[in-house]
A and B are shown apart, each in its own frame.
Chain A
Amino acid sequence: MARTGRISSRTDVVLFSVCVLLSLIAMTLSQRLREPVASALRRTLVAPLLKLQEGSERWRAAYLSSEREELKRDTLALAAARVPTLENENDRLRKLLGLGSALKWGFIPAEALQGRGRAEDFTVTLSAGSNAGVRERSLVVAPEGIVGLVQTVDPTLSLAILFAHPDFRVSAMSADGSAFGIVQPHVTSSGSSRDQAFLRSERYLLEMRGVPFRATLKPGAVVYSSGLGGIYPKGIPIGVVMGEIKTTEAWARTYILRPAVNPAELSAVMILTPQRAAAGLTNVWAGVGAVDSATRSIVLAGDSLARQAAAAEAAARRAALDSAARLLRDSLGRDTTGAGAVTSPTPVTRPAPTPDSAAAARARVRRDSIARERARADSIARQIPGAPAATPATPRPGVPGGPR
């Protein structure tokens, strides 16, 4: 038994030694000798395993590819969801650009960082401060109209009250100057909870008080600052008349105004320097609209030019195809005539010609058609950058089918 164990042990050691020796030989083999051995292994023993590995890697590649596709789809969906936001932002910035070009000088562009707390409903933080030239009581405007007044200025930030702030007052007038009044936030004095809720729902509304009885304002009329108060210069849109409300004041009318600026959409504003405000803002807001519409028309013109170019290209391509088809028909007709065939492949209705005159007429038609085709091609080449070919083509001298 012990002898058997010793023999087995010796066999194990011999097998181990042989394996180690073979491994060492394999390691020391030159590249030329190593490759056939490895290749033989790859083609026989390892081949099915490599097939399996290949399949697994293909699965993984497919999975990764589908994941990438999914990510791409998500990205596209996200981009598509962002389009309306970007369009709105683009619109706002375009308007701001219009306001800037209308103001020309004396303004400081700033971002309006709106507070999210309830206490900050009536104030707005602006991203420009005294370093940028903002001063206290500087006027804050937006492309739509009046926003508020700067109250506190830091080196890099400033705080402004909105038109909805209880302290906000501005002297106002109608567009034709027939009605004057004082615009202030619309605040009711009712104390019931229901009225408070109603008040909260219309907290951004304004009211124009002290309008003389003889002056009436129709709903939809735009109200501007009159410049009489000394702070707000004349001509800034404040809001639009929604209707008249009854008050206890018996000597004047009071109107409810919808503000020109929606505080919820306030993102970029202009802070006017005192010098600019003192210089007056008459016709600035009329110019804003004009610049905005001009920008829009430029964009639309660009679009229509692109459409026109595409239409011209399509028309030219269609014309070239038509004439090529006509040319083919003509040449087919000539060939069949030359071979003695009487029937024409094209259903052209003409007076029946004599055999000689028919051949001559076909030859002439073919020459004319070639000339027309060349002239059309030249005309298209000339006109592709602009409008579609509309002018009659003139055959050039010196080409077949030209003037004889």
Chain B
Amino acid sequence: MNWSATVRTILLCAILILLHYTLRPLLAWRASADFLIIALLLASVRVRPGVAAMFGFVLGLASDSVALGAFGAGALAMTLIGFSWSRLKAVFFADHVLLNGFFLFLGKWAYEILMNLVEHRLHGAELLMQILVWSSLSAAVTAVAGVIALMLLRPVLETRAA
């Protein structure tokens, strides 16, 4: 990845992180889009798996610092997602918008499931309801937001060749 692509990726991630802390509280939906996950997934396809894991770790730790319920859980989940996504890009070269949306959905859903399981806040039917309904809904919203962001920022993006 050349310098120009690196700068653009950093810029894109910064925009998405800013959106996470500005647009999300403004909308305050019950199942809201997770721009941190979008930023992680979009960055992961452009960097090496180790860097993606580190980026996920930092993002997760930052989000964990304001949610002390399960400190470290977000970091673990994002590390796993970043590393897996960066590894998987060699198998599924996701340049298609809908495929990206699908992977965004999977990524966010996996993150939510991991968080719910690690946090131990919900149990039984409540946990099942959270995972099947609210988490999947949040994943879908994230996927839609990610697809919109991808379409808007397509001229700026440059996917690294596998």
List the interface of chain A (C-beta within 8 A of B).
8, 11-16, 19-20, 22-29, 34-35, 37-39, 41-42, 45-46, 49-50, 52-53, 55-57, 59-60
Cα–Cα distance between A13 and B53 once the two chains are bound (Å): 9
A55–B24 Cα distance when bound, in Å, is 12
Residue interface bits B1-28, CB-to-A below 8 A is 1, else 0:
0000000000000000110111111101
B62 touching A23, Cβ below 8 Å? no
Chain A residues whose CB sits within 8 angstroms of the CB of B48 once the complex forms: 8, 11-12
- Could you list 15 A-B pairs, sorted by A, with CB under 8 Å? A14-B50, A15-B54, A20-B53, A22-B75, A23-B60, A23-B79, A25-B72, A34-B71, A35-B68, A41-B62, A45-B62, A46-B65, A49-B20, A57-B25, A60-B25
- As a 0/1 sequence over residues 56 to 92 of chain B, the CB contacts with chain A under 8 angstroms (1 = contact) are 1110111011101011110110011001000000000
Known: A25-B72, A27-B118. 15 other contacts (CB 8 A): A12-B51, A14-B50, A19-B54, A19-B83, A23-B76, A26-B75, A27-B71, A27-B72, A29-B72, A34-B68, A50-B21, A55-B22, A56-B22, A56-B24, A60-B28
A17 shortest CB reach to chain B, Å: 9
B-side binding surface: helix, strand, loop or mixed?
Answer: helix
- Which chain A residues lie closer than 8 Å to B53 at the CB level? 12, 15-16, 19-20
Rounded to whole angstroms, the CA-CA distance of A204 and B106 in the bound complex is 75
Residues on the B chain within 8 Å of A26, using CB: 61, 64, 71-72, 75
Of A12, A50, A55, A59, the contact of B49 (CB 8 Å cutoff): A12
Question: What is the CB-to-nearest-CB distance from A29 to chain B, in angstroms, rounded to a whole number?
Answer: 7
| Distance from A266 Cβ to chain B, minimum over Cβ atoms (Å) | 51
B83 touches A16 (CB 8 A): yes
B72, A23: Cβ atoms under 8 Å? yes
A15 near B51 with CB under 8 A, answer: yes
- The answer to whether A24 touches B72 (Cβ under 8 A) is yes
Residues of B within 8 A of A46 (CB): 62, 65-66
A41 with B65: in contact, given A16-B49, A60-B25 (CB under 8 Å)? yes
One of B20, B22, B24, B65 near A38 (C-beta < 8 A): B65
Q: With A24-B76, A26-B61 in contact, do A19 and B56 touch (Cβ < 8 Å)? A: yes
Kindly list chain A residues whose C-beta atoms are within 8 Å of the C-beta of B58: 45
Could you say which interface size class chain B belongs to?
35 or more
Among B26, B49, B51, point to the contact of A56 (Cβ < 8 A).
Answer: B26
Asked if B64 and A38 make an inter-chain contact with CB atoms under 8 angstroms apart, the answer reads yes
Residues of A within 8 A of B66 (CB): 38, 42, 46, 50
Residues of A within 8 A of B24 (CB): 56
Q: Which of A24, A41, A60 has the largest count of B CB atoms less than 10 A from its CB?
A: A41
Give Cα A37–Cα B71 distance, bound, in whole angstroms.
10
Contact across chains for B21 and A22 when beta carbons are under 8 A apart: no
CA distance A27 to B77 in the complex (A): 12
Contacts of A53 in B (CB 8 A): 21-22, 25
Q: Say whether A42 contacts B60, CB under 8 Å.
A: no
Q: How far is the CB of B78 from chain A (nearest CB, A)?
A: 9
B21 touches A56 (CB 8 A): yes
Determine if B65 and A59 form an interchain contact, defined as CB atoms under 8 angstroms apart: no
In Å, the complex CA distance between A46 and B65 comes to 8
CA distance A60 to B24 in the complex (A): 11
Provided the pairs A15-B50, A15-B53, A19-B54 are in contact, do residues A52 and B68 lie with their beta carbons within 8 angstroms? Answer: no
Q: Which residue of B lies closest to A20 (CB)?
A: B79
Contacts of B61 in A (CB 8 A): 23, 26, 41
Tell me the bound Cα distance from A55 to B22 in angstroms: 8
Q: In the complex, what distance in Å separates the CA atom of A41 from the CA atom of B66?
A: 9
Contacts A42-B66, A49-B21 given; indicate if A16 touches B79 (C-beta within 8 A): yes
Residue of B nearest to A38 (CB): B65
* A52, B22: Cβ atoms closer than 8 Å: yes
Query: Is there contact, CB below 8 Å, between B57 and A23?
Result: yes
Q: Which chain B residue shows the least CB distance to A48?
A: B21
Q: Which residues in B have their C-beta under 8 angstroms from that of A37?
A: 65, 71
> Complex Cα distance A41/B58, Å?
10
**B70, chain A: closest CB distance, angstroms:** 7
Once the chains bind, are B57 and A19 in contact (CB under 8 Å)? yes
B101 to chain A, nearest CB (A): 25
- B68:A20 contact, CB within 8 angstroms: no
Chain B nearest Cβ from A80, distance in angstroms: 33
User: Is B76 a contact of A27 with CB atoms below 8 Å?
Assistant: yes
Residues of B within 8 A of A16 (CB): 49-50, 53, 79, 83
A60 lies within 8 A of B80 (CB): no
Q: A8-B48, A12-B49, A53-B22 are in contact. Are A42 and B65 (CB under 8 A)?
A: yes
Picked from A19, A28, A38, A49, the residue with its CB within 8 Å of the CB of B79 is: A19
Contacts of A20 in B (CB 8 A): 53, 76, 79-80
Chain B residues with CB below 8 A from A25, complex form: 72
Chain A residue contacts of B72, Cβ below 8 A: 23-29
Inter-subunit contact B60/A27 (CB<8 Å): no
Tell me how far the C-beta of B137 lies from the nearest C-beta in chain A, rounded to whole angstroms: 21
Which residues does chain A contribute within 8 Å of B68, judged by CB atoms?
34-35, 38
